[in-house]
Chain A
Amino acid sequence: MTTPNPEKQPLTALVNREAPLDPAQYEARGGWRGIRRALTMSPDEVIEEVKNSKLRGRGGAGFNTGLKWSFVPKEPAKDRLKYVVANGDEMEPGTFKDRILVEGNPLQLIEGMMITGHAIQADHGIIFLRGEYHLGLERLQKAVIQAREAGWLGKNIQGSGFDFDIHVHPSGGRYICGEETALITALEGRRANPRSKPPFPQVGGLWGAPTVVNNIETFSNVPPILANGNDWYLGLSNCEDGGTKLYGVSGRAKNPGVFELPLGTSLGVILNEYAGGMQDGYKLRAFLPGGASTAFLGAEHENILMDYPSPEKAGSRLGTGLAILLDDRTCPIGMLKNLEHFFAQESCGWCTPCRDGLPWVERLLNVIEDGKGTQEDIDRLHDAARMIGPMGRTFCAHAPGAIAPLSSGLTLFAEDFQRHIRQQRCTFSQGRSAEQAA
């Protein structure tokens, strides 16, 4: 891979997987310019700048970041407790982008949180990191200490009068912690059940205080926006929303990985030019564009633009932008079974349709994959999808996310479902466990 260009790849240009930069090295390579400029601006001006950059949240929901910040009440930090929280839960199967940022350049995340702190007038920052990222945790903790020692965190940062400090919280491990209200509940030392909205966290979040929760990739975009301005940031993108995106693929690609490319790059370019195309002997059959909770798109969508509107128009979502590839030699029902097992296991149990419905879906898929299914089982899967899937039947989007691959799979792989019923067996070698296949 060529050396990333900070003008074109602001997220990864300073990433060093071997040893991340310390505060002085970071400064020498152009770091801290964003917070320096932000501190010469009013909080509202910073929010306006980020809003105009058309940065959309990179955690999956894709809401305009500056707009989200603008919902926070305006009182200064000395009059009102507020929090800036980085969501580094990253437990979505198929998503592996934030790991690179925390392991390779934690100071850019810290700087992004500081700028957000100034914008919403908060002095408390928390980084919520999944507990399995041991190297990331170690490096983040070290980066926080180094930044504090160098006067970039703590009281009166660089003599500016701005106070901001960060605490790193390692998670106990549950997928639902990636949902922003469940993450807040976990930070309060409770079982991480999601909360109904309103109130939205920007008004009533952690301990009831206004709280901005953004994904790690989102925060890492903020320093370059402030350092280089909106026009530059909008110019990075191939579409109407701003910036670059950490894209990636997993599955049977020759060179799976994560690549920083203009927002709006097509999946075909990501797969064929960066991930080396499909492995020999495998063809692309379908893909989940942005992690396990997005709907399948068929191979005919291979050249879809990976921006926010295009996957949506095709019936899916950009999600986290890391596509999972289904090849032509793997059983799609086996893949669905794996996905629904995950969602059933990770349901927090708070809402009945999710808690009871998802294990039921998993059982039905098991029966069909084992060659014991009937047409009625497929009808029941359609019923389950209709009953569990729509937004608003549960507190959070776990259930709708779980149903997205199922509903799309029932349509896209209808013939495979029928063949399993007709032949009373799985006809793929990959798709059943080795014990069953033997």
Chain B
Amino acid sequence: MSTADNTAQNAELPSDLVQTFRDMAAHEHHARGASIEALRLVQERFGWISDAHLAQTAQVLGMTPADLDGIATYFNLLFRKPVGKNVIMLCDSVSCWLMGQEQTRDRLCKKLQIKMGETTSDGEFTLLPIVCLGHCDHAPAMLIGKELYGPVRPEDIDAIIDDVRSKNHDHA
């Protein structure tokens, strides 16, 4: 369970999301069928799934928080801890490994000054390993937010990260 202190994450779920969950649940054979998609929507809005939001979502879907937490912690793409503004998912599966993924990974860690699984101190990037991104003909591959990259050679890292950083600042 996360102990992160974040006011927005402790607040009530917005009423439009609650209504969306009710609509989704009504279309399912049982309300719990909407649970994974509901958690994805919470995360899309807030970046991660806080205890407070998990508990409220569970209530709308007629589940216990522990039951829903069992689902939230099972899936790779659902985050129960805060993540950076940009989540980088670096494929560590075999086709990328064969094409030098470890060198790309090391360069990425050095550039961001973090290890796999960590978030940069400025909160801009979280770096995670991911199972095969289905971009094996462009290995090594990575995903930053919704943007797919590949092949990513170590020497490409600086430009890619600098570019994402500058876009972040433009939007800020």
Name A's B-contacting residues (CB within 8 A).
81, 90-96, 98-99, 130-135, 167, 169-175, 186-192, 206-207, 209, 248-252, 256-258, 288, 292, 322, 324-327, 330, 334-335, 338-339, 341-342, 345-346, 430, 433-435
Contact = CB atoms under 8 A, between A and B. Distances in A.
Contacts of B146: 134-135
Given A174-B74, A338-B93, A248 B132 contact: no
Contacts of B100: 430
Interface in B23-55: 27-30, 32-37, 39-40
Contacts of B32: 188-190
B74 A172 contact: yes
A99 B134 contact: yes
B78 A172 contact: yes
Given A173-B76, A174-B75, 19 more contacts: A91-B131, A93-B94, A96-B132, A96-B137, A131-B77, A171-B36, A171-B75, A172-B40, A172-B74, A172-B75, A174-B74, A175-B131, A190-B71, A191-B70, A250-B95, A250-B136, A324-B98, A338-B92, A430-B98
Contacts of B83: none
B93 A93 contact: yes
Given A251-B99, A324-B95, A324-B98, A170 B134 contact: no
B139 A250 contact: yes
Contact of A92 (B30, B40, B132, B143): B132
Contacts of B29: 81, 206-207, 209
A251 B139 CA distance: 8
Interface residues of B, number: 44
Contacts of A187: 33
Interface string B74-95: 1111100000000001001111
Contacts of B157: none
A94 B92 CA distance: 11
B contact patch SS? mixed
10 contacts: A92-B132, A132-B77, A172-B75, A186-B36, A187-B33, A189-B34, A206-B29, A207-B30, A335-B94, A434-B103
A135 B76 CA distance: 19
B33 A188 contact: yes
Contact of B136 (A94, A338, A339): A94
A171 B75 CA distance: 8
A270 B133 CA distance: 22
A126 to B, nearest CB: 10
B103 to A, nearest CB: 5
Contact of B98 (A248, A250, A341, A435): A250
Contact of A174 (B28, B76, B103): B76
B102 interface: yes
A103 B89 CA distance: 20
Given A93-B93, A250-B98, A292-B93, A172 B134 contact: no
A171 B39 CA distance: 11
A96 B130 CA distance: 15
B106 interface: yes
Nearest to A91: B131
A186 B100 CA distance: 34
B71 A172 contact: yes
A86 to B, nearest CB: 15
B135 interface: yes
In the complex, the 3 A-B pairs of residues with the closest C-beta atoms, listed nearest first: A172-B75, A93-B93, A189-B35
A324 B98 CA distance: 9
A410 to B, nearest CB: 17
A96 B94 contact: no
A93 B132 contact: yes
Nearest to B77: A173
Contact of A172 (B76, B92, B130): B76
B149 interface: no
A345 B78 CA distance: 16
Nearest to A251: B98
- Residue of B34, B36, B78, B134 most packed against chain A (CB within 10 A): B134
B94 A248 contact: no
Contacts of A257: 137
